[in-house]
Structure 1
Amino acid sequence: MSFFKSIWTLAPFGALAFVLLGGLSACSGLALSKPFAWPGLATAQARLTGAGRDTVVLAITHAQLVGAERAAFDRGADQVVEMLPAQPGIVGYSVRSRVLGHEVWTATVWRDDASIDAFVRSPEHLTAVRQGSSAIAKVEYHRVQVRVSDLPLDWSRVLAELERAAARAAATPR
């Protein structure tokens, strides 16, 4: 079962769980994260540090979605997540979603910018973007360099990097 669909499978726990989660979400902004998968971590640490490269690229996406169009976005996102482990240059990835609401994040770690660029231009990724674009009300996308020695990352680090990247972008004249 996909991560995005699994959030909505809490219904079997009944109305009480829904009310409790709603209260928690309203009070704390509760979000669920899929644990990071690190299919390329050992390879990245060995190759990059051995080759004199000590950084990888963290790509972070944060989107606010239109609720009525959410299903299309989730389908496309699930397809992308399923294909990530086989992508050349992928080091790690995770997804996160607000329990109640329409806010999602993705975090992918790549060996280099060329690997991300190739993935973003792939037919599968372009199809998923087209499928889900009607659901996106607002989106931020940032790339930041992360030291290989800081891997593996967790969501607290990713969200801190997102905040810093967004602040830098806001301070940059256009």
Structure 2
Amino acid sequence: MSIFTHTPCIALALTLAACASEPAGDSTTDSPDTGTDTDDSTGTGEPACVEDDLMPSPFAGPGFDPDKGGLQEPLQDSYVASTTVLVLRPEKAQEFVETVTAMIPVLLANPGLVGFSTAQSMKCGTARTLAVWRDDAAMMNFVVSDEHVAGMTRTSEFSTTGTVTSWKVTRAELPIAWDVAMTRASEATPSY
């Protein structure tokens, strides 16, 4: 069973939401498969390998129920989307899950959370999240929570690099497709 198929994994991306202090390191190695560099990231916070095994969970949450037609009341013209990608340290997976699990009640209690999806690539060692919030204030309420700050301080311990970004979206753009989130992450400056 994958650690990213459970609700606690949404917080993994959000763990980075306010963590942007360390530059990404250069840990280049030579790949036996291709003879090319397979460093932890491409310098953009994205994995060097192709995530062709990406396994996303369905987008859902307190403000988005696919079984009830999607977006739930109150409807808005615009929302805030956020996405994160982490290149995880395999030896820290269990500690990472424990830290993230403590954030879940706070995340789900946030009245401004619309919905989220998580995705993982075992091949590339990446974990991704995609969340939609009613506004920036709702997102930041989670970011500054005690549980999130406690996890955020350990982000570089759990992963070698990561990127987080957020942007405005319209109601018509929801739910956001994973290719959109991945493009946004690849265009953003690495958070650490």
Normalized against structure 1, the TM-score is what?
0.68
Higher helix share: 1
Matched ranges for 1:72-87 at <5 A? 72-81=95-104, 83-87=106-110
**Aligned counterpart in structure 1 of residue 140 of structure 2, from 114, 117, 123:** 117
Query: Hey, what's the Cα distance between the residues in 2 that align with 1:95 and 1:83?
Result: 17
How far is the alpha carbon of 1:81 from its aligned partner? Answer: 4.3
1:4: which partner in 2?
4
Asked if 1:43 corresponds to 2:66, the answer is no
Does 1:69 pair with 2:98? no
Matched, 1:127 2:157: no
> Structure 1's 37 and 84: CA in aligned 2 closer, same or farther, altered over 3 A?
farther
- Any stretches of 5+ residues in structure 1 without a counterpart? 7-25, 49-53
Pair 1:92 & 2:109 matched = no
- The amino acid across from 1:87 in the alignment is N
Secondary structure of the residue aligned to 2:147 is helix
How many aligned positions are there? 141
Compute the TM-score of the two structures, normalised by the length of structure 2: 0.62
CA drift of 1:119 comes to 0.6
CA distance in 2: counterparts of 1:28 and 1:101, whole angstroms? 6
RMSD over aligned CA atoms reads: 2.7
Equivalent residue letter for 2:73? T
* Matched residue, 1:104: 127
Structure-1 residue corresponding to 2:164: 141
1:2: how far off? 7.3
CA distance in 2, matches of 1:114, 1:86: 14
**1:99 to 1:2, Cα distance in 2 relative to 1, 3 A:** closer
Compare 69-78 and 141-150 and name the one that shifted more: 69-78
Other structure's SS at 1:4 match:
coil
Measure, in 1, the Cα distance between the counterparts of 2:163 and 2:51: 22
Match of 1:56 among 67, 70, 79: 79
User: What CA distance in whole angstroms lies between the structure 2 residues aligned with 1:104 and 1:4?
Assistant: 7
**Residue 153 in structure 1 maps to residue 176 in structure 2:** yes
The alignment-based identity, stated in percent, is 28
C-alpha distance in 1 between matches for 2:156 and 2:93: 10
Q: Is the 8 A contact 1:39 1:92 kept in 2?
A: yes
Q: Is the 8 A contact 2:51 2:123 kept in 1?
A: no
Distance 1:4 1:78, change over 3 A: farther
